[in-house]
Amino acid sequence: MAAPAKIGRQFDFSKLLKALGPELKDGVGRLAGQHASAKENLSKLTAQPPKIDWAFYRSNVSTPGLVDAAEKAYNSFKYPKPEDTKSEAHKVRRTDMAKKAEAAAINADKRLKDLERQLAALKAEKDLASVTVAEALAANPKWAKEIEEDLRNEKWVP
């Protein structure tokens, strides 16, 4: 039986291994080995099965008509090709997953930039032990306003 040409397409396992964590690398390595083995087995298959030598069987089978009946049955057999009902659904699902992955990557990039900005702001701040009250109030005018209001209203305990 012939193997479809699509089955033997290339897959870059090294790229996948770089993207995965160390705990998954063994499993992917086994999968890569199975993939290579399957490709090797598929490459051994011929495009068409070998032709049957009916003359050889006619000369070696003594039952009259048996080989002719077998040849007629063999030649009349039509393998029903299954209808492809899943490819379109897989294409739709694949494009949907690609869109979701793209959106997740964009959101991750935005989040990463925001976190990097916050980290840079934290690194730029002065050490808390060396910050004076005046510097803290100058950096946070809202705090200064709330403290002034509490003092004006004689609110000594929060």
Q: What is the pLDDT of residues 69-103, one digit of tens each?
A: 999 999 999 888 888 889 999 999 999 999 999 99
Q: Read off the pTM.
A: 0.39
Q: What is d(CA 127, CA 121) in angstroms, rounded to the nearest whole number? A: 12
Question: 20-49 pLDDT, tens per residue?
Answer: 777 888 888 888 889 889 888 888 887 777
Tell whether 120 and 149 lie within a shared domain. no
Tell whether 118 and 106 lie within a shared domain. yes
Total tally of structural domains belonging to the chain: 4
Residue 4 has pLDDT above 60, yes or no: no
Where in the sequence is the domain holding 33, given as residue range(s)? 1-47
Tell whether 116 and 133 lie within a shared domain. no
Tell whether 68 and 105 lie within a shared domain. no
23-27, long-range: CB within 8 Å, 24+ apart, which pairs? none
